[in-house]
């Protein structure tokens, strides 16, 4: 089969890496891809939002199956467009992708089907919202309804901050139409986890539970980023807890979506807060997470393509779905200044250094410039180590990260530290 992967980040590089292992694969294409993906797949400069260009490319190259990485094309309906042209593609339809594309839709769905989440109210009127927050306990969280590139959730410590956030969204329209409606919700305390599962519209296959590190600085300080590193499996999630999450959150979500006439096929990603009252949903994503994918896919035992095809065909229950033993840790190397302003075009050194077999380098913001690979984005590389234990994976990943350099390179030093501290405490 010829496979097309849409996207250009570390997530897509991990998808290409894993799909390439399938015995069913002849060729892999990736658009637009990046300098690292270009070593494993045939890349072409087509935007993930250029639906006509994508379909044309897939047709010309006899693509048999397409896998979509980012949320924006999914929310735009890229899957509907491929399928309407008779071209099978993995991911949710436009209506199903609203689970990520509209926080109001997601919150209403959770309320209707009894899925645990923060208490909330929805507003499109500034004055009504202002009256509501006047008597609300703090902190509280205000979220833009639509996609806002990860910047749409504002944690407000006091009434002044909440008023400012409401003004940014509802009056100044800082996020455009994405902020015409807002969710005002209760602040939840706890540790965040990412649970990703393949869904065929009815059945689910869970990937290893993982944890992202969203803030730029060690100790979860500083502004949020796309994600600075991840590890899996998270020892915080026992098999019993995973069962509980499956029964109380993931299955009711998939069932609810089917009942709403929006069967969800693709990757269901639940961002959870582990509160004193148990796991609650912070948000859904309708796709593979990044960097989570860079740790969960290397832990999949067997043929990912077979599982994706089965999910597409509603046959996920026929697949033998297993995870490898051991642990994976990914550290993201970012451009200095990210997530704010940063420079591009810095030559990257160390990519040719031979690395141990348990180290994988996934490219994100990289570009080939003559014979040199240079930086091209905020998140530049994801380095993943696989090992029998989490501590071995942490040690392996940091010794590899130290060999990769570019001007201004920055990475967090504490990826997976929360799990290791917990382990040392014997929990």
Residues that bind ligand AMP (CB under 6 A): 118, 141, 143, 152-153, 155, 185-188, 192, 214, 271, 282-283
Residue 100 interacting with ligand GLY (CB under 6 A): no
Asked if residue 227 binds ligand GLY (CB under 6 A), the reply is yes
33 binding ligand GLY? (CB under 6 A): no
**Cα–Cα distance for residue pair 220/30, rounded to 1 Å:** 33
- Token pair of 84, please? 């309407």
> CA nearest 30: which of 17, 14, 44, 9?
44
Spatial separation of the C-alpha atoms in residues 308 and 266, rounded to whole Å? 8
CB closer to ligand GLY, 230 vs 373: 230
Chain residue at closest Cβ approach to ligand GLY = 289
Contact between 92 and 132 under an 8 Å Cβ cutoff? The reply is: no
Minimum separation from the CB atom of position 254 to ligand AMP (A): 20
Q: How many CA atoms within 13 Å lie on the side-chain side of 385?
A: 21
Give the total of residues touching ligand GLY (CB under 6 A): 6
The set of residues, in sequence order, having a beta carbon less than 8 Å from that of 325 and lying 6+ positions away, is 388
CB atoms closer than 10 angstroms to residue 260: 17
Interface residue with ligand GLY, options 185, 200, 212, 376 (CB under 6 A): 212
Residue 188 interacts, among ligand AMP, ligand GLY, none and using kind-specific CB cut-offs from 5 to 8 Å, with ligand AMP
* Contacting residue, 290, 294, 367, 380, with ligand GLY by CB under 6 A: 290
- Is there binding between residue 303 and ligand GLY (CB under 6 A)? no
48 binds, among ligand GLY, ligand AMP, none (CB under 5 to 8 A by kind): none
Measured in degrees and rounded to the nearest 5, phi and psi for residue 182 equal -130, 150
The interface region with ligand GLY, picked from 122-130, 289-297, 299-307, 405-413 by CB under 6 A, is 289-297
Nearer to ligand AMP, 39 or 168 (CB): 168
Taking the complex as a whole, the smallest distance from the CB of residue 407 to ligand GLY amounts, in Å, to 26
Residue 132, burial from CB neighbour count under 10 angstroms (0-12, 13-18, 19+): middle
CB of 274 to ligand GLY, least distance (A): 17
Site membership for ligand GLY, residue 146 (CB under 6 A):
no
Phi, psi angles (nearest 5°) of residue 77: 100, 30
Q: How far is the CB of 176 from ligand GLY (least distance, A)?
A: 20
Judged by CB under 6 A, the stretch of 76-84, 163-171, 185-193, 283-291 that binds ligand GLY is: 283-291
Residue 275 CB, nearest approach to ligand GLY (Å): 19
* Contact indicator for 91, 287 with CB cutoff of 8 Å: yes
Decide if residue 12 touches ligand GLY (CB under 6 A).
no
Which stretches does DSSP call E strand in 85-219? Answer: 89-90, 120-123, 140-144, 153-156, 182-186, 191-200, 204-206, 211-212, 215-217
Q: Contact at 8 Å (CB) between 63 and 39?
A: no
The pair phi, psi for residue 194, each rounded to 5°, is -115, 120
Is there binding between residue 289 and ligand GLY (CB under 6 A)? yes
Binding region for ligand GLY (CB under 6 A): 212, 227, 285, 289-290, 292
């Amino acid at each position: 089969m010829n496979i097309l992967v849409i996207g250009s980040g570390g997530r897509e590089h991990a998808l290409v890496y894993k799909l390439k292992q399938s015995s069913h694969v002849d060729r892999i294409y990736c658009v637009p891809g990046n300098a690292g993906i270009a070593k494993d797949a045939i890349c072409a400069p087509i935007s993930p939002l250029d639906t006509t260009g994508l379909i044309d490319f897939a047709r010309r190259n006899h693509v048999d199956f397409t896998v979509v990485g980012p949320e924006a094309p999914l929310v735009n309906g890229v899957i509907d467009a491929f399928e309407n042209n008779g071209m099978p593609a993995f991911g949710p339809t436009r209506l199903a992708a609203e689970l990520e594309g509209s926080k109001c839709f997601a919150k209403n769905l959770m309320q209707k089907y009894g899925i645990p989440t923060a208490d909330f109210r929805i507003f499109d009127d500034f004055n009504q919202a202002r009256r509501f927050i006047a008597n609300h306990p703090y902190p509280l969280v205000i979220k833009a309804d639509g996609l806002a590139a990860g910047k749409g959730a504002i944690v407000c410590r006091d009434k002044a901050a909440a008023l400012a956030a409401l003004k940014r969204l509802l009056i100044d329209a800082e996020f455009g139409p994405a902020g015409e409606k807002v969710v005002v919700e209760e602040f939840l305390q706890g540790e965040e986890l990412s649970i990703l599962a393949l869904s065929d519209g009815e059945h689910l296959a869970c990937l290893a539970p993982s944890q992202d590190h969203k803030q730029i600085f060690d100790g979860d300080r500083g502004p949020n980023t796309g994600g600075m590193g991840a590890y899996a499996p998270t020892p915080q999630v026992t098999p019993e807890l995973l069962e509980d999450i499956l029964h109380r959150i993931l299955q009711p979500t998939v069932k609810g979506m089917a009942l709403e006439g929006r069967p969800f096929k693709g990757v269901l990603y639940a961002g959870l807060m582990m509160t004193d009252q148990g796991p609650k949903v912070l948000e859904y994503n309708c796709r593979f997470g990044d960097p989570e994918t860079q740790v969960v896919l290397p832990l999949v035992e067997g043929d990912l393509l077979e599982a994706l095809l089965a999910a597409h065909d509603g046959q996920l229950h026929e697949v033998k779905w297993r995870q490898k033993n051991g642990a994976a840790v990914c550290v993201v190397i970012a451009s200095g200044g990210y997530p704010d302003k940063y420079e591009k075009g810095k030559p990257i050194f160390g990519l040719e250094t031979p690395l141990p077999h348990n180290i994988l380098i996934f490219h994100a913001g990289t570009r080939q410039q003559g014979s040199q690979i240079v930086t091209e984005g905020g998140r530049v590389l994801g380095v993943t180590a696989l090992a029998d234990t989490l501590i071995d994976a942490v040690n392996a990943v940091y010794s590899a990260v130290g060999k990769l350099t570019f001007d201004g390179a920055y990475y967090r030093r504490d990826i997976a530290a929360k799990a290791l501290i917990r382990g040392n405490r014997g929990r």
